[in-house]
Structure 1
Amino acid sequence: MPQSLRHALFTGRLDRIAIAVSGLCVAHCFVTAVVLGLLASAGGIFESPIFHEVGLGLAILLGAVALGHGALVHRFMMPAAIGSLGLGVMAGALTMDHGPQESLYTLIGVGILALGHDLNHRAGR
């Protein structure tokens, strides 16, 4: 494992980055649902399925690395379990048609995932 990644894992930086990415996801969902929903011609770009699939892929990658590392180092499985639940809710939202229900489930999943990263970060202190 590269030294910079190891340092990021041990200092909790990766969890903080993952929490920030979760915040960006919430902002994306809000902007897409509210602001770009009013501008239907521009809204189609960000509602593309590939945009959401790539975002979920990045969330899974960050979650696996940061939460998995925390579970191994701190021997505390709760953050990884909670984060995995959030990822599952987010993945389930991808199977829904675009609309308010999909956005709600995505936001719930992102919140649960962010909670898992926060618990993981706190366990490292």
Structure 2
Amino acid sequence: MRDAILSIRDRLDGFGVFLSGLCALHCLLGLVLVPLIGLGGGALLSPRVHELGLGLAIAVGLVTLGLSALRHGRLRPALIGACGIALMALALGVGHGAREAVLTIAGVGLVAFAHWQNLRTAA
């Protein structure tokens, strides 16, 4: 049973890294491709996509980073992740645009790094 729980936690950390990358990619594409070539502006820059994606990333980050801290007792990844989650939450409140993208990319970068640290600790 314990091994199954650890496997799920590791998968969630891996999913967290993947989801963080998708968030960063979404922001970068929104800042670069849409203004330059008008590609997918309606769907890609929809505030709803951003809100749902960040909400999911925040939830996965909170659960996984919290479980990992309880498992291995290292608070550093959880604290780094908490800073990233705070930036992501702040991004939800600044409105769609460059400030939001910068906050999101910084936040997901910190969260991805925290997930990566958890995966290294588990190995």
What is the correspondence of 1:96-107 to structure 2 with a 5 Å cutoff?
Answer: 96-107=94-105
Residue-by-residue CA offset, 1:49-96 (whole Å, 9 max, x unaligned): 221111111112211221111011101111111111101101111211
What is residue 59 of structure 1 aligned with on the other side? 57
What is residue 123 of structure 1 aligned with on the other side? 121
Q: Which amino acid aligns with 1:42?
A: G
User: Is 96-105 or 50-59 further displaced after alignment?
Assistant: 96-105
What is residue 8 of structure 2 aligned with on the other side? 8
Q: Report the Cα distance in structure 1 between the residues aligned to 2:92 and 2:20, rounded to whole angstroms.
A: 16
Q: Share of identical aligned residues, percent? A: 42
What is residue 87 of structure 1 aligned with on the other side? 85
Structure 2's unaligned 5+ residue stretches are none
What is residue 37 of structure 1 aligned with on the other side? 35
Q: Which amino acid aligns with 2:122?
A: G
SS of the residue aligned with 1:97? coil
User: Is 31-40 or 57-66 further displaced after alignment?
Assistant: 31-40
SS of the residue aligned with 1:27? helix
Once the 2 structures are TM-superposed, how far is the Cα of residue 41 of structure 1 from its aligned partner?
A: 7.5
1:77 aligned residue (75, 78, 96) = 75
Q: Report the Cα distance in structure 2 between the residues aligned to 1:58 and 1:5, rounded to whole angstroms.
A: 20
Once the 2 structures are TM-superposed, how far is the Cα of residue 39 of structure 1 from its aligned partner?
A: 4.2
RMSD over aligned CA atoms reads 2.1
Q: Report the Cα distance in structure 1 between the residues aligned to 2:40 and 2:11, rounded to whole angstroms.
A: 34
Structure 1's unaligned 5+ residue stretches are none
Q: Is residue 58–residue 88 contact of structure 2 (8 Å, CA) maintained in 1?
A: no
Residue-by-residue CA offset, 1:11-58 (whole Å, 9 max, x unaligned): x22211210111111111111111122344731322222211111111
